A and B are shown apart, each in its own frame.
Chain A
Amino acid sequence: MYLKTPSSPHTHGANGLSVVMLRVVYALIPAIAAYAWLFGWGVIINLLLATVTALATEAIMLRLRHRPLSPFLKDGSALVTALLLGIAIPPLAPWWLIVIGAAFALVFGKHLYGGLGFNPFNPAMVGYVMLLISFPREMTTWAAPLSLSGQTLSFSQNLGWVFSGTLPAGVTLDSLTSATVLDTLKTQLKLGQDINQISASPIFGAMGGTGWQWINLAILGGGVWLIYKKIISWHIPVAMLGSLALISLIFFVIAPEHHASPLFHLMSGGAMLGAFFIATDPVSGATSLKGRLWFGAGVGILTYIIRSWGGYPDAVAFAVLLMNMVAPTIDHYTKPVVFGHRKGPDDR
């Protein structure tokens, strides 16, 4: 009788990595559905391109690094990176933009640091920021919500645009696109307009941008489900959204005509996606619970600072990457007190 003698424990009760990653994917589905509903087929094409590129890149890199393909392709981490990047890219972007972004995220954001678990930065945000500073025009040409443009591209028309840059006769790119609310806010404020004048534009909805607010609500729903399922802890989302709300409230109270409301900040751009899906990436974020509060708060405050005074309209990606840099330091200073090391009245 051959008996195995591994070290204890002899039982395991956790879901594997792939289950964790798949739940993140499930949590994104409502947001993706809302996004596609409001912006058309471009969203789906983006996500498919990102996924295929990411998985192919992952496979090539694993082969080059002499790692087994199957467990790492199945772990779902490349899929999550692809979806997060795909969601963050404008729906009418040309195909090469997403392909370059996804490949860069996987190669430079992940595998060159040692692959899963070893990347200091969030790979999706590495890809996104690289695209944003390399291809600013393509990255800021956002599709207008279908309800505003009134024009819809069929799936094949959309494919034609993405791959060959041709639009059906009678449709111009300008009619399909519009600036994002954050972009508009930034440029118009610079031109001396006040919030009330700016938000009279049809691209502004009740809470955030028209259409965008629904996507953000869907992301919020998915995020809350992730917390409920214990895939993420509440610390980072609450700290990030809380600090963003607080700092925007302070400025809003001081000068409401020059600063958007906290609700607008929470419901626009990447705030929700950042809070629940990006800043919560465990690999590149802080790990102790107290550290996560600091980390989340840092992301929230940096987001507001960059949105208000930085060079880019949205700031979540930069804020997350900046906080990734300090995550190890945060962890170092937020070590929890170990049982039996506490000083208390019980000490005799």
Chain B
Amino acid sequence: MSRQLWSFHGGIHPPQYKELSNQRPIAQSSLAAELVIPLHQHIGQSPEPIVQVGDYVLKGQELAHAQGYVSAPVHASSSGTVVAIEERAIPHPSGLNALCVVLATDGEDRWLEQQLDERHYTAIEPSHLRNLIRSAGIVGLGGAGFPTFIKLNPTGRVIDTLILNGVECEPYITCDDLLMRERSTEILAGIKIMRHALQAGEVLIAIEDNKPEAIAIMQQAIANEPGIEVVSVPTRYPQGGEKQLIKVLTGKECPSSGLPFQIGVVLNNVATAYAIHRAVNHGQPLVSRIVTITGDGIKEPRNLEVPIGTPIQHLIDQCGGTSGEIERIIIGGPMMGFAMHSSAIPLIKTSNCILATRQPEQPAAPEMPCIRCGACAEVCPVELLPQQLYWHARAKEFDKTQEYDLFDCIECGCCSYVCPSNIPLVHYYRFAKTEIWSQEREKEKADQARKRHEFRLSRIEREQAEKEARLALKRAAVQEKSETPDKGEAEKQALIQAALARAQAKKESQQEPPKNTAELTPAQQRIIDEADARRQRLDAAADTPRKEAE
């Protein structure tokens, strides 16, 4: 393997604990009596439910239809009856409830008759492939959950490199490792479909060197595949981060607010490739995934293939249950996962690991003041100054946090990991980000209110002007009548003209409404139209007495 590798800044080498769960093969999870399938399992818009309570659904049947572009449908992960469509606890850091389809399984696990495109994938148009992948509900299975069909759309650009992420850099997690070991040919089939959809050049399968079995097996699988290469990368967290891995493999630095395809690279998880193979070659939507159930609080840690929506407690029970007093249940790895309040939540498409940890023997060290040692900056893979961000976030100087590029932070947790003062740095950054977002929302609201208010003011002013013009005309008319006939006609006309000119000038001075009148709602437009009509009527009325006077 003589391929040149680059490096990213910083990073850490936390203890791996992978051997806990990678000793046993992947097992098929038993079917839970009740599946709770959240609608929102990806980045983007929630899909709309298309089933009703009481409906009998088959495995693979669509439960909710994608809405908008960045969205993905959700399918029934087994056959059974929809018993509820309601808000339930879901695996989300907020701990808030969200809409779920609750399925009482009938135990038969009957598939919907699969509508398979019989053509070989190479005969299928890339755009049609993307549609197939979209309707199969496939999202990035590495954890972020971005709808995959979007990432397979090169939008007219040339994709030089397709990277398959088998890095799995977080400690404890082994689901991709086991998938590569056991299902390498299926992954390869998925990779080829991706490559075809993207018309990509070379394909690199990146695997950290702490997974020698997976590397050997994947190498075997691609032995006769030109243009596909397995690249062993030295283990370092957070190498599995999209932009970090792209840097390591290609030396290219993805611009801060840009996307990888802008630099000719697309990166997908190996498990996503497997899901694509199931969808395109077998017509099966994404209804299950492989998940690692591990941690010192699990009796028999292992990987399970699990129907989406299976309650986490059901999975823990299949791994011998818990051992000792559990302190945390984490969805994801120990570096970036989030701790949940209960095990009564369902597994979703993006859940790659369930980590149950025991009460530590020693209580956590207290948080001490920052001594500006700079250890955080040394490990930051984004080359931020975490300590400056911390000071400003703590002081709620949010504009300063943005000057220090807060939003480039990927929340990998390296800084907190090495902090000798034990400061939960990432927590401060999340706090700052949330505050900034909510401030922006507030500002938007305030802007809207201000626009409405300004519009109202301009309307009142306009009405006032119209009224004055009307009055001026009336006064002129009255004056005309009451005045003695020996006054010269020219003089009278001049008076009238002057009044008219004054009114006109006033009207014109009010004629410049604020810029926002360009985007009027139909209701507002109607009001203006009515006002204009009134004005015309008034103008006509004003003309009449003048004629009479003549």
| In the complex with contacts A12-B417, A115-B369, A3-B327 CB distance below 8 A | yes
B375 beta carbon closer than 8 Å to chain A: yes
Complex Cα spacing A118 to B416, Å: 20
Give the docked Cα–Cα distance between A335 and B339 (Å): 34
Contact residues in B for A10 (Cβ distance below 8 Å): 328, 330, 334-335, 337, 339, 355, 357
Judge if A117 is at the interface, Cβ distance under 8 Å: yes
Docked-complex contact A4 and B417, CB < 8 angstroms: no
A9 at the interface (CB under 8 A from B): yes
Q: Which B residues from 223 to 282 make CB contacts under 8 A with A?
A: 243, 247, 251-258, 262-264
Chain B residue numbers with a CB within 8 Å of A71 are 366, 368
Interface residues on B, range: 35 or more
Q: Which of A3, A13, A289 contacts B342 (CB 8 A)?
A: A3
Complexed CA–CA distance, A15 and B257 (Å): 35
Q: Is B436 an interface residue (CB 8 A)?
A: no
205-231 of chain A: CB within 8 A of chain B = none
Interface SS majority for chain B: loop
Evaluate contact between B408 and A338: CB separation under 8 angstroms: yes
Q: Binary interface profile of A, 48-82, with partner B (CB < 8 Å = 1, else 0)?
A: 00000000000000000000000110010100000
In the complex, what residue of chain A is closest to B382 when comparing beta carbons? Answer: A339
Whether B328 pairs with A8 at a CB distance below 8 angstroms is no
Residues of A within 8 A of B264 (CB): 348
Query: Is the CB–CB distance between B419 and A339 below 8 Å?
Result: no
Chain B residues within 8 Å of A117, by CB? 368-372, 421
* Residue pair A19, B420 in contact (C-beta under 8 Å): yes
Residue of A5, A8, A289, A342 with most partner-chain B CB within 10 A? A8
Residue of A nearest to B369 (CB): A117
- Closest chain B CB from A25 CB (angstroms): 15
Asked if A283 CB lies within 8 Å of chain B CBs, one says yes
Would A282 and B372 be within 8 Å (CB), given that A8-B413, A348-B262 are in contact? yes
Please pick, from B12, B255, B371, B419, the residue contacting A282 in the complex, using a CB distance under 8 A.
Answer: B371
A14 interface residue per 8 A CB criterion:
yes
B383 at the interface (CB under 8 A from A): yes
Query: Which stretch (B55-63, B424-432, B444-452, B515-523) binds chain A?
Result: B424-432
A202 on the B face (CB < 8 A): no
Known A3-B327, A15-B420; contact A8-B256, beta-carbon cutoff 8 A? no
Determine the chain B residues whose CB is within 8 A of the CB of A338 once the complex forms. Answer: 256, 382-384, 405, 408
Q: Contacts of A16 on B, CB cut-off 8 Å?
A: 365, 368, 420-422
A residues less than 8 Å from B365 (CB atoms): 12, 16
Report how far A283 CA is from B257 CA in the complex, Å: 33
User: Does B476 touch A at the CB level, under 8 Å?
Assistant: no
With CB as the reference atom, state the residue of chain A lying closest to B428. A7
Q: Are B418 and A336 in contact (CB under 8 A)?
A: no
B387 at the interface (CB under 8 A from A): yes
Residue ID in chain B nearest A72 by CB atoms: B368
Q: A27 CA to B389 CA in the complex, in Å? A: 31
* A1 smallest CB distance to B (angstroms): 6
Which residue numbers of A lie inside 8 Å of B, CB to CB?
1, 3-17, 19-20, 71-72, 75, 77, 115-118, 233, 282-283, 285, 287-289, 331, 335-342, 344, 346-348
- A selection of 22 A-B contacts at a CB cut-off of 8 Å is A3-B329, A3-B342, A8-B413, A9-B417, A10-B355, A12-B419, A12-B422, A14-B418, A14-B420, A16-B368, A116-B368, A117-B371, A282-B373, A285-B372, A338-B382, A338-B384, A339-B243, A339-B382, A340-B255, A341-B256, A346-B252, A346-B263
Which are the 7 A-B pairs with shortest beta-carbon distances? A9-B413, A117-B369, A340-B256, A7-B427, A5-B339, A282-B373, A11-B334
Q: A9-B417, A12-B365, A340-B253 are in contact. List 6 more A-B contacts (CB 8 A).
A: A1-B342, A3-B341, A6-B328, A17-B371, A77-B371, A288-B374
